[in-house]
A = this chain, B = another copy of it.
Amino acid sequence: MKSNITAIKNPQIENVKGFHSNGVHCGLKNEKKLDLGVVYSDTPADTIALYTSNKFQAAPLKVCQKHLLDNIAQLLVVNTKHANACTGEEGINNAELICEEAANLFNVKQIDVIPMSTGVIGEQLPMKKITEGLKLLKPVINEKNDCNFAKAIMTTDTYFKIYGVKVKINDIEYSIIGTCKGAGMISPNMATMLCFVFTDAVISKELLKIAFINSINKSFNAITVDGDMSTNDTAIIFANGHAENKKIDSSGSKEYTDFCDALDEVTLNLAKSVVKDGEGATKLIEISVHNAKTTNDAKLICTAIANSNLVKTAFFGEDPNWGRIICAIGFSGSIYNPKDVSLSIEDIAVYNNGEMQNHNAESLKKAFQKKEIKIKVDLNIGDKNWTMWTCDLSYDYIKINASYTT
């Protein structure tokens, strides 16, 4: 990391000037767990959202798209337990009702409220509980709390996820804080990934958009737990400009590069934490493909390896069978010459220019026993690279996902 970008210790959304957040229990989850959260900005913020490409987009995503035609928002409301997906017109009406209720309570425009949901597909929201919850949230929105919002958006995440940096730009400092929830399910289809990033930096809306798209592509679009993309996946960045730095408005400037680096630092940390906390995961596996003809060819191979159940179970079993990785490269659909392909695992070359290599079996076994493992593929056919992260496939994945909805 650059010297003017530093990680914030014990970050909270309130590190970003002008943002306030809290979470409450309103009865969606059992055991008094937090299940409804809001983030409020003192002033309307420039807001960019990226959505799942799943064709069955959940109702809140449709409302969000409508409310963000002007790319302005001031209030974010998130509930867990119910995804409000496959819920038809009633689902859309409910998402709008939440916005209306929240707008009245927090005194913001209804169109400046963003509703988000995560949980079971195919159930209508328990509206009474949610509106009661919003009434509980209003009076405590400015109260100091221990990352209640990050906790309130969790489903079966085993820990809450928040990461932030501050950036020094001349004599002014701005912050970028992100929080997210990952793939986990008790009931079905809680595989929603939600990521919210907040910054007080002053930056042009166009550059904010480009920086965010690029950053999410290299982070949340470069991770996989099981290859299934949910109906609710969304990433949103809110920029309220309260840091009062000189506006970042040139894509060639050092200030913009710094902003991108800082944002990447936040999104990549969050994305990796989602994989580490993937359902049943015991290992974080980094797959990098080098010297591909096109970026897409590199991505195809990353994806084939990252989603291969055979590769993932081998890592869980700490079984050094590199042949499964070669096999996945083989069916990836990528363009390359098998005779040029090299493969190394934790820098141990097992396959070089199309020929298997003598290697120390004991060292390779030890490499497979690590908690974080790097796989490197070299195609030797071009100059494009890509990196993805995945986790292993364990008994606990089956346990978590085979459990009854009832």
Whether a CB of chain B sits under 8 angstroms from the CB of A160 is: no
A301 and B318 alpha carbons, distance in the complex (Å) = 33
Whether a CB of chain B sits under 8 angstroms from the CB of A120 is: yes
Whether a CB of chain B sits under 8 angstroms from the CB of A104 is: no
Please give me the 3 A-B residue pairs with the lowest Cβ-Cβ distance, nearest first. Answer: A317-B402, A188-B321, A121-B323
Of residues 204 through 240 on chain A, the ones whose CB sits less than 8 Å from some CB of chain B are 226-231
Q: Which residues of A contact B (CB under 8 A)?
A: 52-56, 83, 85-88, 120-122, 185, 187-189, 191, 226-231, 307-310, 313-314, 316-324, 326-331, 336, 338, 351, 354-356, 361, 365, 393-395, 397-399, 401-406
If A189-B323, A321-B187 touch, does A401 touch B356 (CB 8 Å cutoff)?
no
Question: Are A310 and B191 closer than 8 Å at their CB atoms?
Answer: yes
Question: Are A230 and B327 closer than 8 Å at their CB atoms?
Answer: yes
Question: Are A319 and B405 closer than 8 Å at their CB atoms?
Answer: yes
Cβ–Cβ < 8 Å partners of A191 in chain B: 310, 327
Question: Are A322 and B228 closer than 8 Å at their CB atoms?
Answer: no
Cβ–Cβ < 8 Å partners of A393 in chain B: 309, 398
A394 and B398 alpha carbons, distance in the complex (Å) = 6
Question: Are B405 and A53 closer than 8 Å at their CB atoms?
Answer: no
If A56-B338, A356-B87 touch, does A188 touch B314 (CB 8 Å cutoff)?
yes
Question: Are B189 and A54 closer than 8 Å at their CB atoms?
Answer: no
Residue in B closest to A308 when the chains form the complex, CB atoms: B228
**Closest Cβ–Cβ distance, residue A363 to chain B (whole Å):** 14
A11 and B288 alpha carbons, distance in the complex (Å) = 50
Question: Are B323 and A86 closer than 8 Å at their CB atoms?
Answer: yes
